Structure 1
């Protein structure tokens, strides 16, 4: 998650330098719309100490975390686009999708490695 945060900050910095304040802020908000729900998901899933008796509850934790992530992401998108803030769509979605791709790459790499 720290790598994703660094990536989001780097993308926002590049957009800021290339296209100005609105683009940089939009990229930061787009990355945040991915990163905050991902952090909530991770906290929700990792909160339980797992032993042989709670193995079935792990699946419920993943479903609960996915629901929290979906609701939070939807809420953040609604908040950002409904608040009347000036947002550039290209930087916003570029940062969001790049953070998403990095998450997928990390998941596929770790799943195939371990």
Structure 2
């Protein structure tokens, strides 16, 4: 998996980051490397259960950032390899899951 954007609004930096990730995988001996956007990867299991097209809110609460995506899912789309157009909206905030836990917990 890879984020929709490694670097906000900078396609050159984004491509460089994916290249570095691929380089690291190759250094570990991987030969066939393919990337899937994280919100699509997260939706794949749910998508196996849907019977019609739906919109799904995918929330990825990482340690340093939290990403929110609206993804179009359907049985037909599940068979496609290029899913970029199915990510209808994506935005991240630089508040991680641990921050949410701390701020939302009731002491």
- Highest RCO, 1 vs 2 (Cα 8 Å, sep ≥ 6): 1
TM-score for both structures, normalised by structure 1:
0.27
TM-score for both structures, normalised by structure 2:
0.28
Structure (1/2) with the larger strand percentage: 2
